[in-house]
Amino acid sequence: MTMATATPVMTPPTLWQIFFEFLLIGAVSFGGGIVAYERILLIEKRRWLSADSFMATLAISQTMPGLNSVNLALLAGDQLRGVKGALAATIGLMLPGGAFVLLAGVVYSAGGQHPFINVLLAGIAAGATGLLASVTYTIGKRHFVQIKSLFIIVSTFVLMSVFKLSLIWVLILMVPVGLYLYRPEQQS
Range 97-156, binding another protein (CB under 8 A): 97-98, 100-102, 104-106, 108-109, 112, 115-116, 119-140, 143, 148-150, 152-156
42 binds another protein (CB under 8 A): no
> Using the rule CB under 8 A, is 4 a contact of another protein?
no
> Smallest gap, in angstroms, from Cβ of residue 139 to another protein?
6
Of 161, 147, 13, 30, whose CA–CA distance to 88 is shortest? 13
Q: What φ, ψ does residue 10 adopt, rounded to 5°?
A: -85, -65
Q: What is the C-alpha separation between 161 and 41, in angstroms, rounded?
A: 38
How far is the C-alpha of 6 from the C-alpha of 43, rounded, in Å? 13
* Residue 57 sits in the site that holds another protein (CB under 8 A): yes
Q: Is 68 in the site for another protein (CB under 8 A)?
A: yes
Note whether 66 binds another protein by CB under 8 A.
Answer: yes
Q: For the segment 145-184, give every residue that binds another protein (CB under 8 A).
A: 148-150, 152-157, 160-161, 164, 166-168, 170-171, 174-175, 178-179, 181-184
67 binds another protein (CB under 8 A): yes
**59, 64, 7: which is closest to 35 by C-alpha?**
59
Give residues 8-37 in contact with another protein (rule: CB under 8 A): 25-32, 34
**CB nearer another protein, residue 44 or residue 127:** 127
Alpha-carbon separation of residue 184 from 51, 140, 144, 145, 181 (angstroms): 25, 22, 21, 21, 9
Give the Cα separation of 88 and 148 in Å (integer): 40
40 in contact with another protein (CB under 8 A): no
